Amino acid sequence: MPLVRLDDEDEPAPNLAPMIDVVLVLTIFFMCVTKFSDDERKFDLDLPQAGAAASAAGGRPEIVEVVASGGVRMGGEEVAPEALVSRLSAARESNPDLAVMIRGEQAVPHGRMAEIYEACRVAGVANVAIAVQPRADARRK
């Protein structure tokens, strides 16, 4: 590539095009990342607290929410507890490696959560996780 000779009066200037490209790509990346995390904040639930937590393995999990009154939501829609197995089975047929994230409020009785776990087992879902919030004392470590 031939070099262009500058006159004595011309000053070299930086090329801003690559920097603008990088900023644009980073902006799009962060917009996509924040969109995916909106599912976790769609409904305000009082999640239980735990000392340590691990992230769910696999791809994007199907979110099943259990409210203190006993209602169940899957994908943001109210689901009858009897229909949960059929909905999970249909989702598992389209995605054999389906992962389910159960977000149950702290006040939900253990028996109700056991029913949700059982629905996942009957539907053939092997990857089941529960959502928790880190304790305040665990965050400082």
Pick from 96, 97, 88: nearest CA to 116? 88
- Residue ranges covered by each domain of the chain: 44-139
Q: Which two tokens stand for residue 16?
A: 């801003």
> Residue length, the chain?
141
Q: pLDDT tens digit string along 6-64?
A: 666 667 777 888 899 999 999 999 887 776 555 555 556 655 555 555 554 556 788 88
Angle, helix 84-94 to helix 110-123, in steps of 10 degrees: 40
What DSSP element (H or E) covers 122?
A: helix 110-123
* Reported pTM: 0.56
Residues 6+ apart with CB under 8 A from 79: 72, 73, 87
Fold of 44-139: Nucleotidyltransferase; domain 5 (3.30.420)
